[in-house]
């Protein structure tokens, strides 16, 4: 993880002396959409190992704090590493104990816990289908903690998400440039290598929600962002109260935008 790179990133273009005015395009971080050969097993893994909650009647889903973890059945075309979404993060109160329990359960790890000075303790593990997961000990933000993008221009990428989806421009622990969506941090690290599209990889896409997707879409389009289709009801199995569409973010990150039921 490129903490040194992140710590040195300039916030130019991200910070404004004038407070940002609320708009229709102010979003909440809504979901992660991951790929696993058996969707139910994907959800069960996060329930068992990342302390997420089961969703009654929906075995292919888990609830991790305020974020939905949704699973599509399929064989991932690649790990999250190498795409525009490098990894996701979860925060635990006792990281050494958590990593020990995960390793005892057979979860693949990248090594022991490391203490990053003036930040927090970290470790990395993988789910069985190639999603890289950072474990941190950030007690002020327990549970699902962050989405860490890879980008050829991290500062520009964070500025794009802030412009498109709102959120609060912040520095995690006064060190790392980020956009904060309630309790979910969005970070970006530098990549010198070309990045593969997220579509059909271990992390297929990320999701944001709006109270009024039609109004938000009109505003976002005004900023030059193209939608793959007009917002429409989700047809599962018949048109539902959920509206959705997709856009493509920087570094070929697939992003779903939704309007949940009122």
pLDDT band at 1 (very low <50, low <70, confident <90, very high): very low
Owner of token pair 């992660």: 32
pLDDT single digits (tens) 106-122: 999 999 999 999 999 99
Q: Is residue 17 part of a domain?
A: no
Residue 165 pLDDT > 90: yes
Provide the mean pLDDT of the chain.
90
DSSP assigned state of 15: -
Q: Is residue 145 part of a domain?
A: yes
Q: Is residue 51 part of a domain?
A: yes
SS3 content of the chain, % helix, strand, coil (to 5): 20, 40, 40
Q: Is residue 18 part of a domain?
A: no
Those residues whose C-beta lies under 8 Å from the C-beta of residue 164, and which sit 6 or more positions away, are: 25, 220, 223, 225, 249
Owner of token pair 């790990």: 79
Q: Is residue 19 part of a domain?
A: no
Q: Is residue 125 part of a domain?
A: yes
Beta bridge partners of 192: none
Q: For residues 194 and 151, what is the distance between their CA atoms, to the nearest angstrom?
A: 9
Based on the structure, what is the number of domains in the chain?
Answer: 1
pLDDT single digits (tens) 201-256: 999 999 999 999 999 999 999 999 999 999 998 776 655 668 999 999 999 999 99
Residue 77 in contact with residue 200, Cβ under 8 Å?
Answer: yes
Distances (CA, A) of 144 to 94, 104, 137, 184: 15, 22, 12, 7
Beta bridge partners of 64: 67
Those residues whose C-beta lies under 8 Å from the C-beta of residue 150, and which sit 6 or more positions away, are: 83, 84, 85, 86, 188, 189, 190, 191, 195, 251
Q: Is residue 65 part of a domain?
A: yes
Convert 40-73 into a string of H (helix), E (strand) and C (coil): HHHHHHHHHHCCCEECCCCCCEEEECCEEEEEEE
Q: Is residue 122 part of a domain?
A: yes
Range of the domain at 55: 3-10+25-259
Distances (CA, A) of 145 to 58, 77, 116, 187: 23, 25, 17, 11
Q: What is the CATH number of the domain that holds 152?
A: 3.10.180.10
């Amino acid at each position: 993880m490129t903490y040194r790179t992140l710590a040195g990133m300039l916030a130019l273009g991200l910070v404004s002396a004038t407070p940002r005015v609320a708009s229709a395009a102010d979003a909440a971080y809504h979901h992660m959409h991951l790929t696993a050969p058996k969707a139910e097993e994907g959800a069960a893994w996060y329930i068992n190992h990342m302390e997420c909650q089961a969703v009654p009647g929906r075995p292919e889903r888990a609830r991790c704090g305020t974020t939905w973890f949704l699973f599509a059945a399929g064989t991932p075309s690649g790990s999250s590493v190498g795409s525009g979404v490098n990894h996701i993060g979860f925060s635990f109160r006792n990281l050494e104990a958590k990593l020990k329990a995960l390793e005892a359960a057979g979860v693949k790890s990248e090594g022991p816990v490391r203490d990053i000075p003036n930040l927090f303790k970290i470790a990395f593990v993988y789910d069985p289908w190639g999603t890289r997961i950072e474990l941190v000990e950030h007690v002020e933000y327990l549970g699902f903690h962050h989405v860490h993008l890879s980008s050829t221009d991290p500062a520009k990428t964070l500025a794009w998400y802030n412009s498109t989806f709102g959120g609060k421009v912040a520095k995690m622990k006064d060190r790392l440039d980020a956009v904060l969506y309630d309790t979910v941090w969005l970070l970006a690290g530098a990549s010198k290598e070309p990045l593969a599209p997220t579509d059909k990889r271990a992390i297929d896409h990320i999701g944001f929600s709006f109270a009024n997707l039609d109004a938000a879409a009109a505003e976002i389009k005004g900023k030059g962002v193209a939608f793959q289709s007009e917002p429409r009801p989700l047809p599962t199995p018949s048109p539902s109260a959920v509206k959705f569409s997709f856009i493509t973010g920087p570094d070929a990150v697939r992003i779903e935008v939704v309007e949940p039921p009122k």
